[in-house]
Chains A and B, each alone.
Chain A
Amino acid sequence: MTQVLSVCDLRKRYGKFEALRGVDLDFEPGKFTVIIGPSGAGKSTFIRCINRMVDPDGGEIVFDSAHMEQLRGAALRQRRAMIGMIFQHYNLVARTNVLRNVLHGRLGYMPLWKSLLGAYPESEKRRALDLLDEVGLSDQMYKRADTLSGGQMQRVGICRALMQAPKLLLADEPIASLDPKSAEVVMEHLKQTTKQRGLCCIVNLHQVEFARKYADRIIGLKAGRVVFEGSPATLSDAVARDIYENAESRLENQLTGADIARIEDEERVALCETVAA
């Protein structure tokens, strides 16, 4: 059996808070994996360690026969280009149009001067349009990203990730900010794409129902450890309940000094703006 991604004894701590305490998991192509768990269980940290948006403290991450945890600089960027990522808050460049946002998926593959000029090859622009067409947004290609609805933004986010022609697709709470209907659309599209392209897709969710409905495989994370692994059919209600039990105390630890400093910062900025006005 060929694995796209193999994670071994992954560890990460933030100060005193242990986000991941030794996670071992393997992922195969064409499979739609959903990770569930309460806030603070380490889902987001896990997924971000894979493409090194977060640097792990220990363990191995082997993606496409490269040790991700050892890569730096250009080599790391090259690998990141092969891993698509989808975010809870879509993270589109708000003042840039939809087409350009999708084409951002190619940035990792092209030199700076070319991207500066916007000199994307015609074939890639065509592909971007095709991707937008698939999600029904090709007529919105010149709209500014911040004029779209949440569901539309997330579909653009998926197009951007697919534009990378990734082997691995990571999605961190992709539907947490969406209404139920948009959420269905997004999940449906993610699942379909995974099957069609034979991708390996890892999705963080906190809704167990969605996990049951779409996943090929469900992983339960709790307090930084894998507490469940199996097909949706094997996830009983009792197990699901157990995963989410006693979660609150850990969540509280998450608001760190840095968060508080950031909140204060925002207020100061708001005050400055009032003065300027």
Chain B
Amino acid sequence: MKMKETAKKIQLTPLSTALKTPLIAALLVTVFVVSVMALHLDIAKFQSRLANIGKTLSHFVAFDIPTLPKALLEMLSSISLGIGALAIGSVISLALSFLAAANTTPNRFLAASIKGGIALIRAVPALVWVLMVIASIGFGNTSGLVGLLFPTCGYLIKSFIASIEDKGMGTIEALQATGAGWFEIMLFGVLPGLLTSLLSWTSMRLEHNIAESISLGMVGVSGVGSMLMRALGNYHYAEITTITVVIFVTMLTVELAVGQVRKKLNGDTTK
């Protein structure tokens, strides 16, 4: 019974676990190798291009100040699109998430169908939504807005529902006992305590929305994305760099700003 009396070597891990690690490792490597082989990567072409990458990249080391105002204006347009879709989307999401959260829904069937619909909407990439909308009602900012609404609502409703369900039944039951109506309970009972977390989700979504809205430009909606595509088409290296820098600086600013806003919001709740 006593292990120390046997002369056997002491294993650091029992054999069953000791075998598991190399097995998992072997499996992971196999999956990788098989995937790479199945892809038939055009490594040769890539290498030949890589050989003179220094020269190509040197073209990009340029900054075109005259494009800057135009780029900023187009960026503003992309930002506006992201904000606009977020504003409309958050109102829609607010209503739908209260109808869908398990603890606040007036009807279980309604809740299930909203949740199912959201799962489907979320599974379709934002860009595909926009392409479908463009196909239906033509190019333009309106298409961009409507197209962006889908992923915005998908994200917000899912997050909002999580926050609402986190609150549990307590408040609701208490107010139901007073004879308050559904709308009153939601507005005065549930919403106030949730405000910070909902705002927090919304501000987080802003980052995604602006990134998506920049990308939308590249498939036909106006904005800084389409400007970038034009610059690429014209082989205007300095302009490409300038636009990319504008995009980066904007996204970084948004990231930092959202971080600050969320810090403030969280600070409010911990006090």
Contacts and interface: CB of A to CB of B under 8 A. Distances in A.
B270 A274 contact: no
A129 B204 CA distance: 52
Given A133-B4, A138-B3, A142-B14, A122 B263 contact: no
Contacts of B260: none
A31 interface: no
Contact of B270 (A100, A118, A129, A267): A267
B142 interface: no
Majority-rule SS of B interface residues:
helix
A122 B9 contact: yes
B4 A268 contact: no
Contacts of B107: none
Interface string B1-29: 01110000110111001000000000000
Contacts, number: 44
Contacts of A133: 2, 4
A122 B162 CA distance: 53
A126 B10 contact: yes
A267 B162 contact: no
Interface string A83-127: 000000000000001011001000000000000001010100110
A142 B200 contact: no
A226 B267 CA distance: 40
A74 interface: no
Interface residues of A, number: 21
Majority-rule SS of A interface residues:
helix
Nearest to B162: A274
B265 to A, nearest CB: 10
Given A133-B4, A274-B162, A264 B270 contact: yes
B266 A267 contact: yes
A236 to B, nearest CB: 44
Which of B12, B200, B263: most chain A CB closer than 10 A? B12
Contacts of B270: 263-264, 267
A12 B149 CA distance: 58
A126 B4 contact: yes
Contact of B262 (A120, A268, A274): A268
Nearest to B263: A264
Interface size class of B (residues with CB under 8 A): 10 to 19
Contacts of B159: 274-275
Contacts of B162: 274
A188 interface: no
B7 to A, nearest CB: 10
A263 B267 CA distance: 11
A180 B262 CA distance: 43
Given A97-B13, A122-B9, A268 B266 contact: yes
Contacts of B9: 122
A163 to B, nearest CB: 14
A260 to B, nearest CB: 9
A100 B266 contact: no
Given A138-B2, A274-B162, 16 more contacts: A99-B10, A99-B12, A100-B13, A103-B12, A120-B12, A122-B10, A126-B4, A129-B10, A133-B2, A142-B13, A263-B270, A264-B266, A264-B267, A268-B263, A271-B266, A274-B159
10 contacts: A97-B12, A103-B12, A125-B10, A264-B266, A264-B267, A264-B270, A267-B266, A268-B263, A271-B266, A275-B159
Shortest 6 CB-CB contacts between residues of A and residues of B: A125-B10, A142-B14, A118-B12, A129-B4, A267-B266, A129-B3
